[in-house]
Amino acid sequence: MSTIVETARVELQNFLRTSDGMRCPEWGRCEWAAGGGWCLESSKVYVERLLSILMSTPEEFASIGPVTGCRALQLVESVAESLLETAGVQHAPVSSLIAKYADEHCPVEVRVLPLMRRRGAVWRLKDAWVIQLRAADLFYVRRFILFHEIFHVLVDDYSCLPCRRVINAPVSFNEVLADLFASYALVPTDLLERHWQGAGFSHLLARLFDVPDQVVCIRLRQVGLAL
Ligand SMILES: [Zn+2]
């Protein structure tokens, strides 16, 4: 793996290490948020809800703002971009095989299983990472979960695994960050700009990138292409 991924990874790992995973490490001292910038920590419940339900309308994403000054998202975007660069991604859809570049020291195995109670999980075994995905999920939902789990591999985060989505439980900042990493990596800015037809959200875009509709909605907002 090129050092570009390692550098971005280590920077993100160090940033996240100063928090327990439930809150943004910058919480309470972020100048971007204090100045009214869009804040993932304050919006995490909203983002989690938007991404975890299957039917959201594009209008529901109207509160997603540009994220240029959010340190957490800058780092996540940088890791996503360096991973895409290392894998040589140039076309949509982004290949799921990118998982193999997530850790240069340890192979990543992906297994599709008849999971009953969760959509995905990641385990760190002695000699491999194992990502489990639910066979019953739609292909593009499974891809989203896969990329979410790749985030955990990248940041070497297996302390709170498997990922749990318990109703009414407090929303974990790192879990939402993993979702946003998946969004960045599955719908890279340059490919989104290349394929955007100038008409806001379209199901065709979601099918082109092989992702749930919500992922395109959130990325259009972040990039400033939503109408
Ligand atoms: Zn997770």
Per-residue pLDDT in tens (0 to 9) along the chain, 227 residues: 556 778 888 999 999 999 989 999 999 999 999 999 999 999 999 998 888 766 668 888 888 888 888 999 999 999 999 999 999 999 999 999 999 999 888 999 999 999 888 889 999 999 999 999 999 999 999 999 999 999 999 998 765 455 555 556 788 999 999 999 999 999 999 999 999 988 778 889 999 999 999 999 999 999 888 76
Give me the residue spans of the domains in the chain.
3-223
Tokens representing residue 190 in the block: 């340059």
* Ligand 1 center–CA 16 separation, angstroms: 14
* Rg of the chain, C-alpha, whole Å: 16
Q: Cβ atoms within 10 A of the Cβ of 169, count? A: 8
Residue whose pair of structure tokens reads 């001292």 in the numeric block: 29
Asked whether 139 and 210 are in contact (CB, 8 A), the reply is yes
* Ligand 1 center–CA 31 separation, angstroms: 27
Q: What global pTM score does this model have?
A: 0.92
* Ligand 1 center–CA 143 separation, angstroms: 14
208: helix, strand or coil: helix
131: helix, strand or coil: strand
Measured in whole angstroms, the distance separating CA 208 from the mean position of its chain's CA atoms is 18
